[in-house]
Amino acid sequence: MAQGGYGTTARLFHWITFLLVLGMVPAGWVMTQEGLDRALQDQLFIFHKNFGVIVLVLVLLRLAWRAIVPPPPLPAGIPDWQRQMSLWVHRLLYAMLIFMAVTGYLRVTLGGFPVEMLDALGVPRPPRNDGMAALAQRAHFLGKFLLIGLVLVHVVAAVGHAIVKRDGVFSRMWPPIRRSG
């Protein structure tokens, strides 16, 4: 199985998304702290908002790619409960990434704030609505707990397969560029 696994396109989608989310979550946390230097806060907000939109685009492209090139089958011998769990954790990860990006976008635009990249592209913003912006803010705040929980389960499972079980599951997605052969 070491030679098989996902193709290079799917691997790049995976690892780029992983790195972006690894940056987005701490940036989101730091930028909302009281007493932060204003210039740093502005930079973090700009990074977080714009890369958040890029994460959304990547996730949607990735799902489209996945529909065209279905994932390779798991190695034989993986128990059924693990197959089911992997299926649901992956589904929820996709759903939560979309949820976080959409609620972040709504919190900002309905609150009357810019998303610089989309504004530069001329994408129209919805009209200001403070009540809905507050709701989106709450959803974004709470959603992060589920997303972080899912990422932890996903990482623990991946590391377990790589180090403990060594059953070829980790090498389906690692390295980011598939070795030929």
Residues lying near ligand HEM in the complex (CB under 6 A):
21, 24-25, 28-29, 32, 48-49, 52-53, 55, 97, 100-101, 104-105, 107-108, 115, 137, 140-141, 144, 147
| Cβ proximity of 104 and 140 under 8 Å | yes
In the bound complex, what is the minimum distance in angstroms from residue 148's beta carbon to ligand HEM?
8
**Residue found by looking up tokens 């499972």 in the block:** 157
Is there a contact between 8 and 177 (Cβ–Cβ < 8 Å)?
A: yes
Q: Which residue has the tokens 């730091």?
A: 30
Q: Which residues contact 155 (CB under 8 A, 6 or more apart)?
A: none
Instruction: Please identify, using beta-carbon distances, which residue of 11 and 48 lies nearer to ligand HEM.
Output: 48
CA gyration radius, the chain: 19
Residues 6+ apart with CB under 8 A from 121: none
**Given the complex with ligand HEM, which of 10 and 106 has the nearer CB atom?**
106
For residue 175, cis peptide bond before it (omega within 30 degrees of 0): yes
Phi, psi (rounded to 5 degrees) for 45: -60, -45
Q: Which is nearer to ligand HEM, 40 or 177 (CB)?
A: 40
Cα dihedral across residues 79, 85, 91, 94: positive or negative:
negative
Please report how close the Cβ of residue 87 comes to ligand HEM at its closest, in angstroms: 21
Closest approach of ligand HEM to the CB of residue 153, in Å: 16
Nearer to ligand HEM, 107 or 161 (CB): 107
45 or 170, CB closer to ligand HEM? 45
Residue closer to ligand HEM (CB basis): 140 or 172: 140
Closest CA to 48 of 147, 145, 140, 157: 140
